[in-house]
Structure 1
Amino acid sequence: MHTILIAAQKGGAGKSTLAAHFGAMAERDGRTLLIDADPQGSLAFWYERRAAETPLLAKVGASDIAETLDAARAEGIAWTIIDSPPHNAPLIGSLMSRATLTVIPVRPGPFDLAAVGATLDMARALKAPIACIINAAPPITRESETAITSEARALLTEMGAPVLPGQVSQRASFSHALITGQAVSEFEPEGRAAREVDVMWSAVVHLARTFPRQS
């Protein structure tokens, strides 16, 4: 079982949005479980509106995550995607230690870039595999990312953070899809948002498969 942790110690980074869309796409690669460990419950809100029966979802508290992961492995789940809470460093650290890969969404703004350092430091201390995603960025214009996105990518690189190529843009189709319990790959499969998320998920899968699968 591959466990993908989506983590950011600052709220509003877009963790739940990525978790929902990655979960829908992960089903192509095997049976998938979403774990909503954020007390805000945004992922569960999306799931309650979902008509499709997959992926599976478990909303759990911090004390139940380990047991949920163990049960998922025993039941043959291929991919587990965890939406973690912000402002809970001990729990995030514990989950990083168990995850195949930690994905850190970062908006290209000064507050998000300033806050990401704590998460990166934690990952380095734990020697946890990580990848940053530029999230909720201004849409690409004329096939080029905007200056603010390029600057954010450069700063993350200077901080020693591995950054996946491409970006996930701020687009209305994400909100339209989420409110109906869908992913953009289902709501608008030929749209730009779906293509961007697909590229990101494919990169996450490629990275995760370079690390040992949890048995």
Structure 2
Amino acid sequence: MQVISIAARKGGVGKTTLSMHLSVLASAPGKPALLLDTDPQRSLAWWHRLRAVDEPNLIEAEARELPDLIEAARREGIGRVIIDTPPHAEDSILSAMRVADLVLVPTRPGPLDLAAVSSTLDLAQRVGKAPLAVINHAPPRTGAAEPSIVSEARAALANMGATVAKTVLANRVSMSHAILTGSTVNEHEPGGKAAGEVEALWREIEALLSRNARPAR
């Protein structure tokens, strides 16, 4: 079983949106992923209630329940678990990081958002995790080169010692339209630019999880 925790000390960087979209791609026919919503705002649970189908599965949880819930999911044969965390709540974030095989740290490319990333990276280091930073809500690419603010954000994250995902998620209105229908861009607008970006990010995540799972030789 693979556990992905999505964490950031700053709010509004796209943790819940990322959880929604990745959970659908993480599901396989007859084997839905499990979402654990540990954010007291329960935005993830609100989206889940809008869906026409119950999959992926979702449990509203407290951070202290995570070890038991993860073990129960393992016994039930769940393939993938995705944990959405609250901002600011250090203990909750640490609990989610401890049970994760991979920690994702989304951030907008703005300076104030980047300034807040270092504290999340410090928490991951405290529990021995090497997180993957994901640049989110970025200006869409208009040419061959990515926008300068994205390149600068990538360099800043690398200087903090973070591994940065190659895929950047642009700020696209199709994301909001999809969420309001209880779906994801991959379901609402398959083949669109936003769907392509999310799929590319998921391929990166799968490859990283696969490498991490390989036994040492």
Q: Give the alignment's TM-score, normalised by structure 2.
A: 0.94
- Which letter does structure 2 place at the counterpart of 1:187? H
Residue 126 in 1 paired to residue 120 in 2? Answer: no
**Relative contact order higher in (CA < 8 Å, ≥ 6 apart):** 1
The residue aligned with 1:201 is 202
Does residue 1:25 correspond to 2:25, yes or no? yes
Displacement after TM superposition at 1:27 (Å): 0.9
> Cα deviations across residues 74-130 of structure 1 (Å, max 9, x unaligned)?
110000000011111122112212100000001001111000001111212222131
Structure 1: stretches of 5+ with no match in the other structure: none
Which residue in 1 is equivalent to 2:13? 13
Partner residue of 1:184?
Answer: 185
Contact preservation (8 Å) 1:133, 1:164: yes
- Compute the displacement of 1:166 (Å): 2.1
Match of 1:136 in 2: 137
Amino acid at match of 2:195: A
Report what 2:98 is aligned to: 97
Query: Cα distance, 1:184 vs. partner?
Result: 0.4
Q: 5+ residue gaps in structure 2?
A: none
Letter in 2 for 1:175: S
**Partner SS state of residue 104, structure 2:** strand
1:3 — aligned with what? 3
Separation in 1, partners of 2:58, 2:94: 22
One-letter amino acid matched to 1:198: E
Q: CA deviation at 1:212?
A: 3.5
Q: CA deviation at 1:64?
A: 2.1
**Structure 1 CA distance for aligned equivalents of residues 63 and 126 of structure 2:** 21
Give, in angstroms, the shift of residue 52 of structure 1.
2.0
Separation of aligned partners in 2, 1:82 and 1:176: 23
Runs of 4+ in structure 1 displaced over 6 angstroms?
none
TM-score by length of 1: 0.95
Q: 1:153-184 CA distances to partner (integer Å, 9 max, x unpaired)?
A: 01101111000102000000000000101010
The one-letter amino acid paired with 2:39 is D
Q: Give the residue type in structure 1 aligned to 2:193.
A: R
Write out per-residue CA displacement over residues 122-153 of structure 1, whole angstroms, 9 at most, x where no aligned residue: 21222213100000100111132111111000
Q: How far apart in 2 are the matches of 1:2 and 1:144?
A: 34
